[in-house]
A = this chain, B = another copy of it.
Amino acid sequence: MSGGLSKQRLRLWVNLLRTTRLIEADLREEMRTAYRTTLPRFDVLSALERHAAGLLMGELSRHLMVSNGNVTGIVERLVADGLVERLAVEGDRRAILVRLTQAGAAAFAAMAAQHENWIDRRLEAVGRDEAQTVIDSLSRIREDRP
């Protein structure tokens, strides 16, 4: 045993989990009261906003790191609300392209600005360099695993 290093890593994991959950809870509450929406819906809109040409259901699922079937349901509700549209894909009749509608893009723009503010306040305790340090560590963790 390497001097309790594995215990230290376990502590890191617990800290990661608790911090993420805490911030997620705050964001969920803000989203709910300010926009009557949920985090998963926001996440979908956010991914689509970064891909103006649209995304396939599978791509969306991989971007968000949630299961395929899950995305089906969330997109369904967003379509029902007119924020998202589904389009047939030229040359592959299995695939479906999902894209923001104008209403969806507008709704997202308003939310995204507030979202950035909430995060800014929530992470007030970290400055630029410290943030970069943590980002680097997290990136290395994610990349370490082929």
Contact = CB atoms under 8 A, between A and B. Distances in A.
B142 A126 contact: no
Contacts of A3: 128
A70 interface: no
A70 to B, nearest CB: 12
Given A18-B65, A65-B21, A141 B122 contact: yes
B20 A135 contact: no
Interface stretch (A76-84, A91-99, A112-120): A112-120
A7 interface: yes
25 contacts: A5-B127, A5-B128, A8-B131, A9-B131, A10-B116, A12-B131, A12-B134, A13-B122, A15-B134, A15-B139, A16-B23, A16-B134, A17-B24, A18-B65, A20-B20, A21-B65, A22-B142, A25-B65, A122-B141, A124-B144, A126-B137, A126-B140, A126-B141, A133-B134, A134-B137
